[in-house]
Structure 1
Amino acid sequence: MGEIILLRHGETAWSRDGRHTGRTDLPLTDEGRRQAKAAGALLGELPAGTPCWTSPAQRAVETAKLAGLEPDGTDPDLWEWDYGGYEGITSAQIQTQRPGWFLWRDGVVPGGPAGFPGETVEQVGERCDRVIARVLPLAAEGDVVLVAHGHLLRILSARWIEQPPVHGSRLKLDTASVSRLGFEHEIRVITGWNQVG
């Protein structure tokens, strides 16, 4: 069995500033491009033709290419959590209106100037389940690489180990980090987490 290798995209201006960045399609910063190149060294020597999919967001596609990957395409299920009316806002700003607010427990509100409908953590978990169902047969043949976003990959990892999506809240994930999901005695496990170059 292979591993599912997860690469979070490099830094953007909003990720640097702690702003919720779901569907807004921002480019990498200069630091994000440096991080993406450094992440390539953490991926090791992947065989030519290793399956790789990215989120449709330019920050994920660019990270993959700078890391030396050759994506097979984009997967809309790898988009980041749709933060609805909290898109582009920091947690501190939200807490001025909703004291004690915590994304993983309290969720998002719909709307905002960009008109994003928003998603629950369970809805993101359903998208992650679809991704896992698609890549699991490929992992039987070798490694698979997914390049996406912080919260999405945390939820996907929780679902990989058959935990509720909200358990992703306990998995910190830095920009341009590499993590690995695999197997031990046919049980799905996390084999490496949050490595940064």
Structure 2
Amino acid sequence: MPYSRTTRILAIRHGETAWNVDTRLQGQLDIPLNDRGRWQAARLGAAMGEERLAALYASDLQRARDTALAVSGRTGLPVQQDEGLRERRFGCFQGQTVEEIAARHPGDVQRWRQRDPDFRPDGAETLREFHQRCVDTASRLAQAHAGETIALVAHGGVLDCLYRAATGMALEAPRTWQLGNASINRLLWTDGVFTMVAWGDTTHLETEPTLDEAGDGGRDPG
């Protein structure tokens, strides 16, 4: 039997954007960090400077990429962009608030709120497809760095999928855990299996509150 080496993963959500404040679904629209998000990224970079990282990966959407650049500035590691770390593609729901989605898509909103794994808004990924993409991407990157520590800078929905993979939580289950902007979340990966170490560390942000897109009902933030 081959020798197993565990990969330590620091899964990080991007800093705040104006659309986080507005609870507007970002999906794969390329929304930049706001001033507070850039401050959060700088604080994150300072905290990550002590981590012994072998590699730094990020979604190629600018809110994640720019957050990762702050980490790069402190660690000296290049940011390796990976489209597999992008937020869920929400199709026709992208760019709308929860209230706007309910008003404009009354026939679909209930399935979305209930986290139907096979529901597909026009032009979107299903939740099941998205979850598989996130798990496959994180596994691929972890396998490439067996026995090392890597950082993955991504999105709330991506972190939600990794949390579920590590805890065995069903896709349909309501979310009860936090996905704070610029939070550090620690996982292990061994032979294709994720396990949880610690979740939702925002101590590097001192007493500043982190936004968790209030009003999303536990669905996938951006």
TM-score range, shorter chain: 0.7 to 0.9
Give structure 2 stretches of 5+ with no counterpart: 1-5, 206-222
SS of residue paired to 1:77: helix
- Are the counterparts in 2 of residues 8 and 176 from structure 1 also a CA contact under 8 Å? yes
2:29 match: 24
**1:152 Cα deviation after fit:** 1.5
Q: Does 1:50 align with 2:50?
A: no
Give the letter aligned to residue 121 of structure 2.
V
2:113 match: 102
Query: Matches of 1:153 and 1:161 in 2, distance apart?
Result: 12
Q: Does 1:12 align with 2:17?
A: yes
2:186 match: 180
2:87 match: 80
Single out whichever of 2-11 and 101-110 deviates more from structure 2: 101-110
Give the letter aligned to residue 158 of structure 1.
R
What is the identity percentage for the equivalent residue pairs of Structure 1 and Structure 2? 30
Q: Does 1:135 align with 2:146?
A: no
1:113 match: none
Change (3 A) 1:171 1:183: same
**1:90 Cα deviation after fit:** 1.2
- Are the counterparts in 2 of residues 85 and 108 from structure 1 also a CA contact under 8 Å? no
1:114 match: none
SS of residue paired to 1:4: strand
Query: Matches of 1:7 and 1:93 in 2, distance apart?
Result: 29
Give structure 1 stretches of 5+ with no counterpart: 111-116
- Are the counterparts in 1 of residues 65 and 79 from structure 2 also a CA contact under 8 Å? no
Q: TM-score, normalised by structure 1?
A: 0.83
Query: Matches of 2:156 and 2:43 in 1, distance apart?
Result: 18
Q: TM-score, normalised by structure 2?
A: 0.74
- Are the counterparts in 1 of residues 165 and 194 from structure 2 also a CA contact under 8 Å? no
Query: Matches of 2:173 and 2:145 in 1, distance apart?
Result: 23
Query: Matches of 1:126 and 1:183 in 2, distance apart?
Result: 16
Aligned counterpart in structure 2 of residue 66 of structure 1, from 42, 61, 70:
70
- Are the counterparts in 2 of residues 181 and 189 from structure 1 also a CA contact under 8 Å? yes
SS of residue paired to 2:115: helix
Number of aligned residue pairs: give it. 189
